[in-house]
Structure formats: structure tokens, C-alpha cells
Amino acid sequence: GITTRSARRTIPFVGRTSEQAILGQSLGLASTTGRPVLVTVAGEPGIGKSRLADELTAGVSAAVIILRGESRANTDSATFSPAAAIIADVAGIGPNDPPPTIRRCLDELSEGIAESGAAPRLSQRLSLLFGLGESGDEPGFVNEVQAGFISAIDGLARDHPVVVVFEDAHTLKAPMLDLIERLAATPQGSRRALILVLTRSELLEQRPAWGSGSNSSVLIRLDALTRDESVQLARHAGGGRIGEVEALEIAERAGGNPFFIIETTGMLMPSHDGAGPGLRRVPPTVQAVVSARLDAMPGRLRDLARRASVFIYAFDLGELAFVDPQATAEELQQLEDAEVIVRDPEPGRTQHWRLRHSTLKDVAYASLPKRERVRLHTVLAENLERRGHRSLAADHLELAAFAALDLDPNDRTVPDRAADALLVAGDRARRRMESRSAIDRYERALAMAGSESRWNVREARILAGMGEAHYWLGEYEPATRALERAVTLGEQTHDPFALALALRFLGDIAINFEADVDKAEKLLARSLQAAEQLGDPWAVVRSLLFAGWVPWTRQRFDEAETIWQRALETVDPKDHWARVRALIALSINHSEISDLDGALHLIEDARALAEQSGDQFTAANTAVQTGRVLDDLDRTDEALPHFDRGIAIF
């Protein structure tokens, strides 16, 4: 028979000697200089990106810390799931740990790695990854998470080299990619870190400047194996029992793709009971190879593999029970032996598995009946919603909706549920200033909503949220298009929420981008009217904050003062972002009327509140305004540190 699958796991790594050398040298450079090195490994599926990373991590010394940024379901933020997975691993946080346990683990981790006096702030920032922070939906969420994660890596990489591996980077959201690039930038102190990013070429097409912010950035493009290397790999994978002609045929069909070669030899394995060889004819594509392998498995294991393919990330035995209540640990071991699933190594924690390769997962999923896809994705979505993971639940409902529409395009039950869930996920991302993620979810929600002729309140709110997200990215033209559509639909459906939001940002675009103060005045007045009709102080305060800039621009400072004072009196004490903005606006207003002492008092209150909330972006705004007021008071020496702090944060 051919080499058993357990032995096949030790198949030699063929044809990547130079790439391995580059990784080793990059780790050495990071270790000796104390500066991070970013290595991006790009290539098609199955070309060997993960194996290259595995070879590196298996060969380093015990002093090197290995961190794996894998997306998981048990995190609060789908966007920052890889970062949460890393922190969970180093802090010893399990997927089902209660909040007190998570806080204790984060406190202990922070005490061990933070600089003197910084542990409480670090623990608070890291807690946002697990939904425990007070500012989970605040605009400062992204900055706080990024700052906390970088501080944690700095603490780990201060005295020992660290390898941080991010797989499938092309699937990550923009804020997570931004975080990876920030991690690779030159730090103020020491950061002995090799950041290893595994991706398909799509990432480089979407972000052509990828890695340009790092002083040490390397791009490795993994090409296909040569014919000789492919033949050599086929022989190794077959345990030396594949003949020259058959090895050559496999090599030519595989096109130099290692995954295809190994999967093809897998077809030649003995059956599950060890009796007889497998198929001898080589299918024309890797998908056909994988499909043939799955078809040759015992029916029970084949069905289990298909059901497991509905998981977006890894799964444990308890989660698997939702899609297959009869699943056993023994069956999972059999799927492992058959190289269909692999374990995620988490010593001392609940064991997780995932499909071994994206191509295998795609083929298994394609063979799952669509009616079963609807049922299983819906079951998983409901479980995730109960656990508070609404963004991932929305992803599952969307997949259920795709299958449901194929079965019956006229049945809107599942698609409407998916659109509702995607709106909720988009709103959450928008409030956290994950603007790209928000736009993505809003666009998917509109796609689920069906024909525009049936659009209603939900779609008006989707368009309003999408417009705001574009606004914060400085994309004023698409923002205006989305916001104007939201206003039209909001008026048709009499929805004050959509109108208050959309008119607010149209007004700000009018005053700051179009320089049309008269237009802005009308739009913001309508926004405030809609917010008051809605009766939501949150919306009223934000419309007031925007509206105050109309009289201020016209130098009618008394009117601006009245509007912003009303905002300050109306704001919820827990709404730190809006309260600080009101204080900043009032400080600027007092500077204009030469009440510099009053301006300084107001901005000092704002700065204290910003520091208390932990929002670094807001703190930067208050620092800059503090510097301006001190400079106006001819206290330049005192002003400069505030300007420097604001610039450093920005």
C-alpha cells in the first residue's frame, strides 16, 4: 500500500529552500536589531504558504514565542478576531470562560508585560476584544484595540523574539490589516517581532502600498514547483511506491501545486480499513481530486465532513453537536487520520478542529444540499446570537439566505432575516469607526434586501449608515449619494431616525466640503427637527454639535454658544464622545471671543474626560486644542508638549 496518512504528515518540504532562508534571516534581523520585520508570503491556494510558516515555527528555538492570529467565533469583534485569538492564547482565556475569569486573566497578563503603571490601562484596552470594555460601541474602539494589542506585543517582544503569524490575510477586514501594518512600523522602543502574513494575491491588488510603512518589509511570492520538484514530492507523498510514469502524470496534472500533488497521492491510499488500493486514474482538477477522496470515504464520515464545512472558523465538539448531534470524538479522530480536518493546538484548552484546507472546505460545502445549508447555517446563527456574537451570526444568516434564494427566489423569510442581521452588524461596526467593515456589511444587507421597489425603513437606515461610514473615510461623493438616497427613502417611509442621521452628515458635507453655509443651515435644521421627533437624546446632541458650526462660521458666536451649551446640557453622562466634542466646540468658541481663560477651563475638562474614557483619538483632539489655547495665552513652552502628544497619537 501507499504510505499511511500518519507517516504522510512528515512528507519533506520540497523546493522552498531559498524562501526558508529568507524567513530565518528575517527572524534573525528582528531579534538582533529589536525592530519588527514584516514578511508577506503570497501565492495561490495550495501553493504551500502555511507549510512554509509551519516549517519556520517548528525549527525555531524554545526562546521564540509563536503567536497565531486565527479568526475564531468566540470573540467580541469579528474584525479583530485574529488579535483576540492571540491575546486569548497568551492570557490563557478559554472559549467559554465567564467575564470575571477573562478579566483576571487579562489583569495577570498585563501585570506581566506592561511597563510600570500601565497595566490597568492595557487590561482595559484588551478587554474590548472580549466585549468587556465600557466603550465597546464607542468611536474610539478601533484606536483603543489597536493600541492595546500593539502594547501587548511590545511587552511580549521586549526581551524575547516573537513570531506573529496571520493566515488568510486577504480575508481580513481593513482595521485588522491596518493593525498588522502598524505592528510592522518602527516602534519607539524595542519590538523583536517577525510579522508573517500569509495571503493570496488579492491583498496586494487591494492594497498596493502594503508594507510600505515598515522599514523592513519583504515580499515572497511562492511560485509553482518545477516539474522535477513536483515528481520528487509525488514520490515522497507516495512513500516511494509510485512509479516514474504515475509520478510524472501527477506532476503534470498538478501544475506545480503541492496541495494538488499530495491530495492526488491521497487517492491512492488504502481504504479506511486498509484493504486494497484507492483509485488509479488521476482526475483533471484539484477539486475533482478532493471530491473523489470525499466520495471514497465511508458515508457517515463523508456526511460529517460536509456538515463541518458550514463552520466559518474552527469548531469544538460541542459546537459540532449543533449541526450533527451524533458526532463523536472517535469520528473526529478518523477525519483527522483521513487528513480532512486538523486540530488547532491550544494546550490545556477545549480542543478545536477546522477543515484542513480552503479548497477541501469549498468542495465539501458544495456537495452539501442547499436545504441542509439553510438549516445548518440558521442553527449556528441562532446559537451565536444567544452568545452575543451578532456579526458572525449575520454571516451565517447571509449564507443561509444564498441557499434559500436558490431554492425559492420568492420566499423572503431567510433573506429578510439576513438583511436585518447585517444592518445590526453594520451599525455596530459604524459606531466603532470600523468604517470599511460597516460599508461592506451595509452593501451586503442591501443585496439581501431585494428589489428597490420593496425597500422601506430598514433600507433607509442602511443607506444612512453607509453614508456616514463613507463620510468618516473622507469619501464625500459616495457619502452624498448614499445619504441623499436615505433622505428620499426616509421621507417616503416617515422614518425620523434615517432622516436625522442622513441630514446631519449632508449638512456637514455642505459646510465643510461644498462651502455652502446656507445649504448646511437648512439641512442641519431638518436633521435637528427629525432628531427631536425621534426623541432620542443621542441623536439630538449630535445634530446640535453639527448645527453649531453654522453660526460659528458666520461669526455669530453667541448663537453657536447657545447651541453647544444645549448639547452639553442634553448629553447623557455616559456619552463621553459627545460630551468631549461639546466641550471642545465651546472651548474653540470662547477662544474666538477672546475668553482664553474660559477656553482653557473648558478644554481642560474635555481633556480630563478624554483621558478617563481611554479614547486616544479624542485625547489627541483635546491635546491639540489645549496647545492652541496655551499658545494664544503666550505660554508656548507649555503648549508644545500638547501639540507633540496630539501629533504622536494622530
Q: Are residues 49 and 195 in the same domain?
A: yes
Which residue reads 460597516 in cell numbers?
A: 438
Mean pLDDT of 383-394: 92
CB 582 within 8 A of CB 568: yes
Query: Does some domain include residue 446?
Result: no
Based on the fold, state whether residues 232 and 284 are members of the same structural domain: yes
307 and 246 share one domain:
no
Whole-angstrom Cα distance, residue 140 to residue 123? 16
Residues 114, 234, single domain; the answer is no
Point out the domain boundary residue: 221, 239, 265.
Answer: 221
Buried b (16+ CB within 10 A) or exposed e, 128-151: bbbebbebbebbbbbbbbbbbbbb
329-351 pLDDT, tens digit each: 999 999 999 889 998 765 556 78
Do 268 and 170 share a structural domain? no
Q: Which domain holds residue 182?
A: 17-221
476 part of a folded domain = no
**Are 495 and 460 spatial neighbours (Cβ–Cβ below 8 Å)?**
yes
Task: Please report the pLDDT score of residue 280 as a whole number.
Answer: 57
Q: Is the pLDDT of residue 111 over 90?
A: yes
Between the ranges 13-27, 272-286, 535-549, where is the mean pLDDT highest? 535-549
Mean pLDDT of 402-431: 96
The domain boundary residue, chosen from 368, 383, 398: 368
Same-domain check for residues 56 and 191: yes
- Report the CATH number that the domain containing residue 186 is assigned in CATH: 3.40.50.300
392 phi/psi in degrees, rounded to 5:
-70, -35
Same domain, 172 and 271: no
Spatial contact of 541 and 582, defined as CB atoms under 8 Å apart: yes
Cα(223)–Cα(617) distance, integer angstroms: 42
* pLDDT at position 268: 61
**Domain co-membership, 58 together with 171:** yes
> Which among 312, 295, 314 has a CA at the least distance from the CA of 303?
295
| 41 shares its domain with 107 | yes
Q: Do 64 and 156 lie in a common domain? A: yes
CATH code (residue 345): 1.10.10.10
Check residue 263 and give its pLDDT. 82
**Cα radius of gyration rounded to whole Å, the chain:** 28
For 315-361, the DSSP string reads B-HHHHHHH-TT--HHHHHHHHHTTSEEEE--TTS--EEEES-HHHH
- pLDDT bin (cut points 50, 70, 90) of residue 649 is low
Asked if 501 contacts 486 with a C-beta cutoff of 8 angstroms, the reply is: yes
Three-state SS annotation for 90-136: HHCCCCCCCHHHHHHHHHHHHHHHCCCCCHHHHHHHHHHHHCCCCCC
Q: Is residue 630 part of a domain?
A: no
Is it the case that residue 647 has pLDDT exceeding 70? yes
Q: Is 56 a member of any domain?
A: yes
182, 199, 221 — which closes off a domain? Answer: 221
Beta-bridge partner residues of 69:
166
Residue 2 has pLDDT above 50, yes or no: no
H or E stretch at 380 = helix 370-386
The whole-angstrom separation of Cα 53 and Cα 196 is: 8
Please indicate, yes or no, if residue 631 is contained in any of the structural domains. Answer: no
Q: What angle do CA 569, 574, 576 make, to 5 degrees?
A: 80
| Residue 609, domain member (yes or no) | no
In tens, the pLDDT along 282-333 reads: 677 778 888 988 998 999 999 999 999 999 988 999 999 999 999 999 999 9
Half-sphere exposure of 406 (CA within 13 A, CB side): 12
Query: In terms of domains, do 105 and 140 share one?
Result: yes
Q: Which of 447, 454, 453, 491 is nearest to 464 (CA)?
A: 491
Give the pLDDT score at 349.
65
The per-residue pLDDT for 7 is 47
Are 209 and 231 in the same domain? Answer: no
- Distance, CA of 107 to CA of 125 (rounded, Å): 11
In a domain, 634, yes or no: no
CA dihedral over 432, 437, 440, 444, signed as positive or negative? negative
How confident is the model at residue 461, as a pLDDT? 98
Cα–Cα distance, 74 to 96 (Å, whole number): 8
What is the value of pTM for the model shown?
Answer: 0.86
Give the dihedral sign, CA 69/72/74/76.
positive
In this structure, how many other beta carbons lie within 10 angstroms of the beta carbon of residue 34? 15
Confidence of residue 443 (pLDDT cuts 50, 70, 90): very high
Residue-wise pLDDT for 575-628, tens only, equals 888 999 999 999 999 999 999 999 999 999 999 988 877 667 788 889 999 999
Residue 107, pLDDT above cutoff 70: yes
Cα–Cα distances (Å) from 497 to 177, 189, 199, 563, in that order, read 32, 47, 40, 21
Determine contact, residues 502/493, Cβ cutoff 8 Å.
no
Count of the separate structural domains present in the chain:
3
Classify residue 36: in a domain, yes or no.
yes
